[in-house]
Amino acid sequence: MLIVGRVSSEAKGVRGEPFAAGQRYFRAVARAGGVPLMLPPIPALAAEVPALMHRVDAVVLHGGGDVDPRLYGQEAAADELYGIVPEHDEVELAVVRAAIDADRPTLAICRGMQVLNVALGGTLVQHIGTESHWMRFTQLRLEPGSLVAEAMGTDTPEQCHCVHHQALDRVADGLRVVGWHDDSLVHACQLDGAKWVVATQWHPEDSAAEDPTQQALFDTLLRHT
């Protein structure tokens, strides 16, 4: 299962600057029975992504900094924008487009959902504030019968960990909104017509080790490979 890494300055026991990704994603994939593989965010590799996609079974697009607003037709309009890294944007956009073209099962988490929306032509709200959606567990509403609800076994997951200051604005063609917070912000989508492409604005990996409903998203992803 493919996971795109991050340029990072935080690592021990390695020589030179590292690439990295959070262990919780890898461990959630491993618990589901998959083998996680990290693709470093090297732009020169973007051209190789379509061929690589035929050698992996599924994709996890994970959290991180903000997508450059210019990639969805806007200029930076919020002082709170952070963590914009061109290498991350270029490689992840290549990965999501190749995954869709190859019909690879995909779980897009937080920034991953935003990358998915931008890749398909959607836009983002650059800053929503952090009062209700930053480092908080919250209850959400899911569309009954949606891929997310079926995977989690509930229409009202109670403990979804949110760590985001942005949200989907114009939803891209083909994406269907299937989950909401009480304030109506989009918190889950699925790509209709694909084998299994699901996006969550919250971080299921944060509590998946203790919460079977969150781990079930990774388990279901693997079952569709």
Chain centre distance of CA 7 = 17
Contact in structure between 158 and 179 (CB atoms under 8 Å): no
203 catalytically annotated: yes
Contact in structure between 41 and 19 (CB atoms under 8 Å): yes
Confidence of residue 168 (pLDDT cuts 50, 70, 90): very high
205 catalytically annotated: yes
Among the listed residues 87, 110, 164, 187, the single catalytic one is 110
Domain ranges of the chain: 2-8+17-223
Is residue 11 scored above 90 in pLDDT?
A: no
If you average pLDDT over residues 68-94, what whole number do you get?
Answer: 97
Contact in structure between 148 and 154 (CB atoms under 8 Å): no
Question: Around Cβ 158, how many Cβ atoms within 10 Å?
Answer: 11
- pLDDT in the model for residue 9: 84
CATH superfamily of 2-8+17-223: Class I glutamine amidotransferase (GATase) domain (3.40.50.880)
For residue 13, what are the contacts with CB-CB under 8 A and spacing of at least 6? none
Among the listed residues 164, 187, 203, 224, the single catalytic one is 203
**Structure tokens belonging to residue 74:** 């806007």
- pLDDT in the model for residue 12: 78
Is residue 22 scored above 80 in pLDDT?
A: yes
Chain centre distance of CA 118 = 12
Phi/psi of residue 124, each to 5°? -125, 150
- pLDDT in the model for residue 13: 82
112-167: pLDDT as tens digits: 999 999 999 999 999 998 777 999 999 999 999 999 999 999 999 999 999 999 99
110 catalytically annotated: yes
Is residue 188 scored above 90 in pLDDT?
A: yes
